[in-house]
């Protein structure tokens, strides 16, 4: 885990870097160079003007957003954000290389990258904010001292520290892709096949950012390749709130009944008399009616290093001894690496299958099929997401099932069509109608 790689100082040579400062000046010059190059190449057409909103958005980010993200000592460059940027560059480079091999203009891919990246990030963040609204964002707004709309908006748009849902990015990117296809009148399935390996390559790199950030963690395990996290990591905090650092476990779902699911033999919890099936009626002084109440109470007593007095639903009273504060979390599955390896293998498989596919849409259908299955299975050992709508499955598992059904329907549609690869036909000078 390495959340912060380094920090950019707030001033350079006595001049502010962010806001109306040096960075904005550099971006204005870069924007002018881009526009001059586009005008000389293609004139003042609609495609040239299409770049203006993107350049303006980046300028607004420099002026308004970056100052909000500044910390003491400057703007921290997060490992998560750096890997996300590397993922975008690598994915775009792979797609441009494959486009050039098909005889297509790689600049089309660079333009497409902007169209899919911006809505992909927005929708991925929207998914995350909605999923964790009650836990992470509503309390910020309601904070009597430092809350309000400003801090809430700052927290909602701060993606450099993590907080993106992969399926949200896929949906957002798909929306951008469809708009790009309609604008430039390109074959949708052929373009999807072109970018499918890039999506998986970007995800493989992006998941390394999740490991650096400490999010998307797995459950405890004793495997040789298990990883541990420091106290500030989400995995460590989750283990406190679920009671795992005391030697027992209650549900992660905030709205669940605070029932003891398991007790570690020989742990302080077992020695205090806690048993599987016990229900926490009250953690004295905090009140306990839901698992969320228990989470907050256990975190409070752990931070204070105090004994935990518990009233059980059967009338018994027990007291857990003061916790022994651990320097690291319990070992957990490195699900971030599992996800990265899974995405990389899918990317390589798509590239290997590419010369053999005969119909547009086969690569994207294969990608959706394999990713949906892999993500569903990986969610089994991830513990950072809770059940969704009483299904017993996480929101990502539910979406995986929907994606898998959509992929099967796509396969059914594709395989009923005659063999046809539009980009290959266009490169050979054939009309787009087929072979």
Last residue of some domain: 292, 320, 348? 320
270 contacts: CB under 8 Å, gap ≥ 6: 247, 248, 263, 264
Classify residue 5: in a domain, yes or no.
no
Same domain? For 82 and 204 the reply is yes
Q: Are residues 247 and 316 in the same domain?
A: yes
Nearest to 116 by CA among 170, 159, 166: 170
Per-residue pLDDT, 434: 40
Specify the CATH number for the domain of residue 256.
2.30.42.10
Residues 295, 421 within the same domain: no
Same domain, 91 and 141: yes
Residues 87 and 171 in one domain: yes
Question: Residue 98 in contact with residue 208, Cβ under 8 Å?
Answer: no
Residue 140 is assigned to a structural domain of this protein: yes
Q: How far apart are CA 67 and CA 44, in angstroms?
A: 34
Q: Decide if 46 is inside a domain.
A: no
Q: DSSP 3-state helix, strand, coil percentages of the chain (rounded to 5)?
A: 60, 10, 30
In this structure, the answer to whether residues 310 and 379 fall within a common structural domain is no
Task: Identify the domain boundary among 297, 320, 343.
Answer: 320
Residue 56 within a domain: no
Statement to judge: residues 172 and 313 lie in one domain: no
Looking at residue 400, its pLDDT comes to 93
Q: Are residues 103 and 210 in the same domain?
A: yes
Same structural domain, 316 and 337:
no
The reported pLDDT for the residue numbered 402 is 93
Residue 403, in any domain of the structure: yes
435 residues of the chain, pLDDT tens digit each: 777 777 888 888 888 888 888 889 999 999 999 888 888 887 887 777 777 877 888 888 888 877 877 777 777 777 888 888 899 899 999 999 999 988 888 888 888 888 888 888 888 888 778 777 766 776 777 777 777 777 777 677 666 555 677 777 878 888 888 888 888 888 889 999 999 999 999 999 999 998 998 888 999 999 999 999 999 898 999 999 999 999 999 988 877 888 999 999 989 899 998 999 999 988 877 777 788 888 988 998 898 888 989 988 888 899 998 888 889 999 999 999 999 999 999 999 999 999 999 999 999 999 999 999 999 999 999 887 776 666 778 888 998 999 999 999 999 999 998 887 777 766 665 554 443
Q: Do 299 and 348 fall within a single domain?
A: no
Instruction: Answer whether residue 42 is part of any domain.
Output: no
Is residue 125 one of the residues assigned to a domain? yes
3-state secondary structure of 266: coil
At residue 433, the pLDDT reads 45
Last residue of a domain, one of 320, 344, 368: 320
198 with 156, same domain?
yes
pLDDT value of residue 350 = 97
- The owner of tokens 């100082």 is 9
Q: Are residues 314 and 353 in the same domain?
A: no
Nearest to 223 by CA among 338, 334, 329: 334
Q: What crossing angle do the helices spanning 106-131 and 166-184 adopt, rounded to 10°?
A: 140
Give which of 367, 434, 333, 30 is closest to 173, Cα–Cα. 367
328 within a domain of the structure (yes/no): no
Handedness of CA 217, 221, 225, 231 (dihedral sign): positive
Pairing between β-strand 262-263 and β-strand 11-12 as defined by DSSP bridges = unpaired
Residue 403's domain spans which residues?
77-219+333-427
Q: What total of structural domains would you count in the chain? A: 2
């Amino acid at each position: 885990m390495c959340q912060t790689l380094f920090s950019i100082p707030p001033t350079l040579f006595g001049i502010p870097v962010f806001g109306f400062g040096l960075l904005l000046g550099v971006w204005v010059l870069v924007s002018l160079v881009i526009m001059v190059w586009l005008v000389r190449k293609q004139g003042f057409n609609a495609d040239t003007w299409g770049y203006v909103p993107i350049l303006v958005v980046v300028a607004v980010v420099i002026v308004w957003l970056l100052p909000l993200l500044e910390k003491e000592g400057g703007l921290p460059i997060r490992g998560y954000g750096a890997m996300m940027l590397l993922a975008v560059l690598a994915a775009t480079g792979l797609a441009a290389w494959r486009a050039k091999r098909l005889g297509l203009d790689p600049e089309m891919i660079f333009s497409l990258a902007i169209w899919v990246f911006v809505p992909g990030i927005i929708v991925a963040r929207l998914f995350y904010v909605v999923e964790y609204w009650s836990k992470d964002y509503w309390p910020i707004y309601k904070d009597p001292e430092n809350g309000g709309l400003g801090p809430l908006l700052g927290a909602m748009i701060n993606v450099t520290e993590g907080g993106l849902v992969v399926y949200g990015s896929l949906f957002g990117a798909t929306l951008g892709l469809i708009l790009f296809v309609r604008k430039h009148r390109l074959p949708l399935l052929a373009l999807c096949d072109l970018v499918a390996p890039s999506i998986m390559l970007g995800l493989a790199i992006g998941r390394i950012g999740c490991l650096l950030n400490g999010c998307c963690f797995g459950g405890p395990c004793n495997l040789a390749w298990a990883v541990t996290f420091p106290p500030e990591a989400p995995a460590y905090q989750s283990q406190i709130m679920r009671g795992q650092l005391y030697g027992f476990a209650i549900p992660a779902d905030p709205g669940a009944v605070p029932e003891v699911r398991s007790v570690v033999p020989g742990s302080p919890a077992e020695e205090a008399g806690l048993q599987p099936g016990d229900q926490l009626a009250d953690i004295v002084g905090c009140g306990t009616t839901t698992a969320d109440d228990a989470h907050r109470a256990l975190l409070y007593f752990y931070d204070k290093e105090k004994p935990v007095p518990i009233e059980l639903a059967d009338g018994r009273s027990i007291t857990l001894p003061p916790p022994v504060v651990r320097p690291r979390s319990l070992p957990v599955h490195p699900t971030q690496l599992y996800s990265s390896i899974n995405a990389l293998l899918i990317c390589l498989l798509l590239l290997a299958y590419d010369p053999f596919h005969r119909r547009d849409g086969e690569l994207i259908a294969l990608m959706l099929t394999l990713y949906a299955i892999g993500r569903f299975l990986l969610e089994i050992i991830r513990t950072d997401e809770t059940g969704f709508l009483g299904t017993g499955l996480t929101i990502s598992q539910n979406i995986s099932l929907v994606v898998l059904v959509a992929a099967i329907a796509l396969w059914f549609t594709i395989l009923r069509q005659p063999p046809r690869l539009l980009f290959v036909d266009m490169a050979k000078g054939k009309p787009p109608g087929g072979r």
